[in-house]
Structure 1
Amino acid sequence: MLRVGIIGCGKIADGHVEQIRAIGRGEVVAVCDREPLMAEQLAVRMKIPGRYDDAAEMFAKERLDVVHIATPPDSHLFLAKMAFAAGCHVFMEKPFALTAAQALEILKLAREAGRKAGVNYLYNYETPGLELEALLQKGELGEVVHLDTNYGYNLSGDYGLAVMTDPGHWVHRLPGKLFHNVLDHVLAKVVPFLGDEIDTRVLAFRRRGPTGSAIVDAMPDELRFILRSGGVTVSGNVSAHGRPVPHTLKVVGTTDSVELDYTARTLIRASRWAAPSALGRQFMAWTQARQLAANGRRNIGRFRRYEFHYFQCMRVLLERFYDAVEGRGADPIPPEQILRVCRVIDQIVEGVDACMADPKNSTSATEARA
């Protein structure tokens, strides 16, 4: 059993502990948070023996194989350095780092230490993401020519309200603010299809009214972007106002196209107008209905097998990450993809800043070499 520690005892830490235990590959032996009460409450609830408010002390007293870092990204480089120096593999919460330069340094430290650096891009391992992976391996979509990715954020939800009502919330410290905290989920799905050179165009603005807080009002809440890498393009939408809150991906290939809904956990192939008549067009809706029904039946089966809970995707990702740690598989999220996500985020943040500085000229074009 791998000995595992967790740094950062906020809400997401519960999910890490639960899924580590579910896969049965590691034992969480210690938790750490600079706020002692946070470490104490997690340790007591989850019956974890070690609890610390100083990461250096935890590394000195515990013999850890893996450490999960679930703190804001401005601390990730500092904590990763300590973890690798202590001989640990690192599994990072997103955002992986504050900037691409920091991400590059973390990955370099991991390589020099001979340790793995993973990141919680969990939605790649959601049910429709795994089905897409299988289709691509079989070549059933042909060559991918375009992807359309949509991600919603509810500012009226628990987390959104925390960001909106607290000017001191760590999200406001991020270079890209709200977008910086969610772009990993948007970009992690599409960067495997992109090359080293990526052209980026950005449109960002604040749609909500002013609150009276200069810090909160400086945060845009609507983002559109276009990426191009060779013959592949990506259109992206991050919206705090669209309803229902979207979480979808469309993949357009030269042979076939699919639409993924991560909330409903469905993957639907595009309908084809097979017969050149009004009668032939009638069949298209029924074809899609049949696919949705099949998705529903599969989801019922997963529910019965206890594979339909919220963090099932994290469970699959951690299983693969621990395989890589033990030398039984490749990195589930390769270092070059982690770095590419961070570099594109840098480019989008640059575009967001340009839009907010000059709303009348609210587009920018940049190039990321990822």
Structure 2
Amino acid sequence: MTLKIAIVGCGKIADGHIEEIQKMPERARVVAVCDLELLMAEQIAVRYGIPSHYDSFDRMLDVEKPDVVHITTPPQSHLFLARRAIEAGAHVYVEKPIALNLSDVRRLIELCTAAGKKMTVGWEYNFDPPAVEMRRLIGEGVLGEPVHVESCFGYNLSGPFGAALLGDGSHWVHRLPGKLFHNNIDHLLNKIVEFVDDEQPKVTATAYALREKRFGDARDDMLDELRVTVQGARVSAYGTFSSHARPPGHFLRVYGTKNTLHVDYTSRTVTLDASPKLPSAIGRVVPAFDQALSYLREGGKNVARFARSDFHFFSGMNRLFGLFYDSITRGAELPISYRDMIRVAWMMDEIFRQAPQEKART
């Protein structure tokens, strides 16, 4: 069965969605795109050869009757659009964050369950090759029992997306309850819940801004540094979101009873910390070479992937799409559980309660 896919929201991320879907023509094809700005929908349809484009979401649903709707709009519209898509008989793929708060996430899950439809969320990094390799090593017992996790996600406010929101005080990010954090810390927290299995662990959040306040509007209220501690019954975690640390990092460290594992999502490497195996001072010399060999092997794997045309930016997104589509057509398990969606949404609510953005201006 080839699924009919419709996409609403024709910003930059929609390009990535379309490109990855077009790599799996036996599973799915994009039949239509929609945007409030008809010109946006038209230009993406022309560039990718998509048959139809709309500026009315309801009309697209009525005419195209898609099997799956990908929602790639700003988060404020996710609840409304996902609800309409589900009511029209479609499954939904929602870009992160799913919705603005835990209550809305629960509502969408309830709607999907009642309608017999499925939903997933754009946590594509959890399906990148390094994440897959990490789970393989853990499954083989290399790590032992997880004890502690460090999750880090860096953001460059000088980059194209950062410059856009700092250049416009009315940018939609400034209207989110958690502003910059709200649009990004899914990537921080969804890695933590894989190891901290508690329903509602103890969460402590500290947030602040390192930027100079110079606009006199909502941009000055936006916090840009966040630290989160999570204490579960068996595993603890520390999360860092930083807009100023350079280079911007995106990594996960998992401390286990046998080994400590480092997953770098930027360089796409998975390494184990080397430990001294020889006595005296020589034992402190060897681990650096062991570590260097580990990175050399990881680099070799990446070269091999590149040679196979299997080293591309959205490889995790492609894998997530495939798993989600299989859950629809073959009855396979959802790639991301509703339980994890709820737990991440709960953590985000708790973080924004402890670090409210409206108190940022002094």
TM-score norm. by structure 2 comes to: 0.97
The residue correspondences of 1:147-226 to structure 2 (distance < 5 A) are 147-194=149-196, 195-226=198-229
- SS of 1:275 mapped into structure 2: coil
Aligned length: 359
Partner deviation per Cα, 1:239-269 (whole Å, 9 max, x = no partner): 1110011111100111211011111000110
Structure 1: segments with no counterpart, 5+ residues: 360-370
One-letter amino acid matched to 1:115: K
1:345 matched to 2:348? The reply is: yes
Partner deviation per Cα, 1:27-59 (whole Å, 9 max, x = no partner): 100000111111111111111111111111111
One-letter amino acid matched to 1:19: E
1:7 matched to 2:5? The reply is: no
TM-score norm. by structure 1 comes to: 0.94
Q: Which residue of 2 aligns with 1:59?
A: 61
Evaluate the alpha carbon distance shift between residue 6 and residue 226 of structure 1 in structure 2; reply closer, same or farther with a 3 A threshold. same
Give the conservation status (yes or no) of the 8 Å contact 1:103–1:339: yes
One-letter amino acid matched to 1:9: C
Quote the Cα distance in structure 2 between the aligned partners of 1:204 and 1:78: 30
Q: Which residue of 2 aligns with 1:133?
A: 135
1:271 matched to 2:295? The reply is: no
Quote the Cα distance in structure 1 between the aligned partners of 2:191 and 2:330: 25
Quote the Cα distance in structure 2 between the aligned partners of 1:247 and 1:155: 15
Give the conservation status (yes or no) of the 8 Å contact 2:152–2:239: yes
Displacement after TM superposition at 1:67 (Å): 0.7
One-letter amino acid matched to 2:256: G
1:311 matched to 2:314? The reply is: yes
- SS of 2:230 mapped into structure 1: strand
One-letter amino acid matched to 1:313: G
Quote the Cα distance in structure 2 between the aligned partners of 1:276 and 1:100: 53
- SS of 1:155 mapped into structure 2: coil
One-letter amino acid matched to 2:320: L
Evaluate the alpha carbon distance shift between residue 358 and residue 31 of structure 1 in structure 2; reply closer, same or farther with a 3 A threshold. closer
The residue correspondences of 1:59-98 to structure 2 (distance < 5 A) are 59-98=61-100
Q: Which residue of 1 aligns with 2:40?
A: 38
1:21 matched to 2:22? The reply is: yes
- SS of 2:210 mapped into structure 1: coil
Displacement after TM superposition at 1:327 (Å): 2.5
Quote the Cα distance in structure 2 between the aligned partners of 1:356 and 1:307: 46
Q: Which of 250, 253, 257 is the matching residue for 1:254?
A: 257
Partner deviation per Cα, 1:125-171 (whole Å, 9 max, x = no partner): 11211111112222321211110111111111110010001011110
Partner deviation per Cα, 1:164-218 (whole Å, 9 max, x = no partner): 0101111001110001111011111111222112111111111010122321000
- SS of 1:197 mapped into structure 2: coil
Evaluate the alpha carbon distance shift between residue 252 and residue 303 of structure 1 in structure 2; reply closer, same or farther with a 3 A threshold. same
Q: Which residue of 2 aligns with 1:230?
A: 233
- RMSD across aligned positions (CA): 1.4
Give the conservation status (yes or no) of the 8 Å contact 1:205–1:356: no
Quote the Cα distance in structure 1 between the aligned partners of 2:49 and 2:360: 50
Quote the Cα distance in structure 2 between the aligned partners of 1:249 and 1:351: 24
Q: Which residue of 2 aligns with 1:364?
A: none
Partner deviation per Cα, 1:66-109 (whole Å, 9 max, x = no partner): 11000111111111111111111101111111111100001111
Quote the Cα distance in structure 2 between the aligned partners of 1:11 and 1:140: 39
Give the conservation status (yes or no) of the 8 Å contact 2:112–2:119: yes
One-letter amino acid matched to 2:77: S
Quote the Cα distance in structure 2 between the aligned partners of 1:338 and 1:203: 23
Give the conservation status (yes or no) of the 8 Å contact 1:155–1:240: yes
Displacement after TM superposition at 1:357 (Å): 5.5
Quote the Cα distance in structure 2 between the aligned partners of 1:33 and 1:336: 31
Give the conservation status (yes or no) of the 8 Å contact 1:151–1:238: yes
Q: Percent identity?
A: 43
Displacement after TM superposition at 1:318 (Å): 0.8
One-letter amino acid matched to 2:128: E
Quote the Cα distance in structure 1 between the aligned partners of 2:181 and 2:301: 33
One-letter amino acid matched to 1:262: Y
- SS of 1:249 mapped into structure 2: strand
1:331 matched to 2:353? The reply is: no
Quote the Cα distance in structure 2 between the aligned partners of 1:289 and 1:197: 39
Give the conservation status (yes or no) of the 8 Å contact 1:203–1:355: no
